[in-house]
Amino acid sequence: MSKPMNYDKWKKIEVSDDEDDTHPNIDTPSLFRWRHQARVERREHRIEEQQEHEKQRKELNERRKKLNEKLKTLEEKGGDVSTLKAEKESLDKEERQWKEKDEDIKKQERLRPLDVDDLTHEGKSKTSINKKVTEERPKNMTEEEQAEYYKQFIEKHKDNIKKYGMFRHYEDTQKFLEEHYELVCEETANYLVIWCIDLEMEEKHSLMEHVSHQTMTMQFILELSKSLKIDPRQCVRPFFTRMKTADQQYKQGFFEELQAFRERVQTRAQQKIADAVKQYEEEERQKRLGPGGLDPVEVMESLPKELQDCFESRDIALLQETLSKMPRDEAANHLDRCIKSGLWVPNAKDAEGDEEEETKGEEQNEKKITQDVQNLQVE
């Protein structure tokens, strides 16, 4: 099913935690909000623990320095150093314990998943972006300019975006993005979300789930860049480094966001299908409307059973007889609505020219019914 890309579709599904700066399509509100306070508290606790650990190291160094000075003085004077040796053994034990704890802290730090604060201070890795082969997104565009830019961007990069959407491994995805930094932008994320919705509408559920993973990967990179206030292309390597070395808690957070996104896609797809069905039914209804603006199907369903039988059997004589047995107002109302809906066409035979003799009696009956209705309405 091929559908034209519509930039305004972003207004119909909520997917961002920053309504001012991001499209309302990629809803990751808990990414930096739900866990922000917990992350801050963990970081503060970690810093306090490290400061206390460092303080102990300085105290041990000071004690070691003073003990060595005492030992040197006593040895020069030939005094008894047995007491100081016992103190030295106790100090040696404390230093071994400190070193063991230091190794444990360093190990935990290596295994600890990075957060945005860590990434802002990253100094060992560097992302080099060749601006000559990447595109700079214009700033301060109007809505019309954004729509036109989006259209041109997708026309140019659609094939590569779809290739990105089909990767399965982090290593392959990272390598591809580093070869195509121009894809790391809002336009790619927008297209991926629309693609996911279209796939779900086409009932390609497995493929939607696969592409949705790549969509959330792109959105996490973009959200990370906004948090750090740096070019999103510089966040590609840090993001994948984090995903490949993160602990189970962080990965669980990513997949919880992914599952929530899939549910929103499914809901939006169902809404769009329902809207399409509703629109189709309304279009069909408009086509059916009679000369008086009434729907013949609705009018037919509202008629008494005996009148429905008359129209279904196309029995003019029976129709005349049935109407004559009804109260005048009721009969006039029913037939008036039938005329306005097109179920009954007054004097339809007059426009057909000469008719066969056997139809003349039927014409007279039709005219008689119409005249009766007009008389009823006048009265």
Are 357 and 374 within one domain? yes
Q: Residue 335, exposed/middle/buried by CB under 10 A (0-12, 13-18, 19+)?
A: buried
For the record, the structure tokens of 67 come out as 């003990």
**pLDDT: which is higher, 284 or 364:** 284
Are 61 and 12 within one domain? no
pLDDT at 250 over 70: no
Phi/psi zone of residue 346: left (φ > 0), alpha (ψ -120 to 50 degrees), beta? beta
High-pLDDT (> 90) share of the chain, %: 21
Residue 58 lies in a domain: yes
For the record, the structure tokens of 81 come out as 């150093």
Residue 334 lies in a domain: yes
Residues 6+ positions from 165 with CB-CB distance below 8 Å:
192, 195, 210, 211, 214, 215
Q: Where is average pLDDT lowest: 144-158, 208-222, 239-253?
A: 239-253
Are 141 and 93 within one domain? no
Please state the domain count of the chain.
3
Are 15 and 159 within one domain? yes
Mean pLDDT of 138-145: 83
Mean pLDDT of 131-160: 81
If we measure between CA atoms, which residue out of 341, 314, 305, 323 comes closest to residue 377? 323
- Domain span at 261: 7-32+126-280
Q: CA 245 to CA 223: how far, in whole Å? A: 19
For the record, the structure tokens of 97 come out as 């314990």
Are 42 and 95 within one domain? yes
Are 147 and 11 within one domain? yes
Residue 263 lies in a domain: yes
Residue 121 lies in a domain: no
Residue 117 lies in a domain: no
Residue 235 lies in a domain: yes
Residue 223 lies in a domain: yes
Residues 6+ positions from 180 with CB-CB distance below 8 Å:
157, 160, 164
Are 132 and 274 within one domain? yes
**pLDDT: which is higher, 111 or 9:** 111
Are 132 and 260 within one domain? yes
pLDDT at 228 over 60: yes
Q: CA 173 to CA 177: how far, in whole Å? A: 6
**pLDDT: which is higher, 123 or 114:** 114
Render pLDDT for 183-222 as a digit per residue (tens, 0 to 9).
999 999 999 999 999 999 999 999 999 999 999 999 989 9
For residue 5, the model assigns a pLDDT of 43
Are 149 and 86 within one domain? no
Report the chain's mean pLDDT, rounded to a whole number: 75
If we measure between CA atoms, which residue out of 192, 190, 155 comes closest to residue 173? 192
- For position 185, which CATH number holds? 1.20.58.610
- Domain final position from 280, 308, 329: 280
pTM equals 0.50
- Domain final position from 112, 134, 166: 112
Helices (H) and strands (E) in the chain, counts: 14, 0
Are 345 and 359 within one domain? yes
pLDDT at 4 over 50: no
For residue 287, the model assigns a pLDDT of 78
Q: CA 369 to CA 346: how far, in whole Å? A: 9
The residue type of 166 is M
Q: Residue 301, exposed/middle/buried by CB under 10 A (0-12, 13-18, 19+)?
A: exposed
DSSP assigned state of 271: H
Phi/psi zone of residue 5: left (φ > 0), alpha (ψ -120 to 50 degrees), beta? beta
Are 180 and 50 within one domain? no
Phi first, then psi, for residue 28 (nearest 5°) are -125, 55
Are 214 and 251 within one domain? yes
**pLDDT: which is higher, 248 or 170:** 170
In the structure, what pLDDT confidence band is assigned to residue 109 with cuts at 50, 70 and 90?
A: low
Residue 288 lies in a domain: no
Q: Where is average pLDDT lowest: 44-53, 174-183, 213-222, 368-377?
A: 368-377
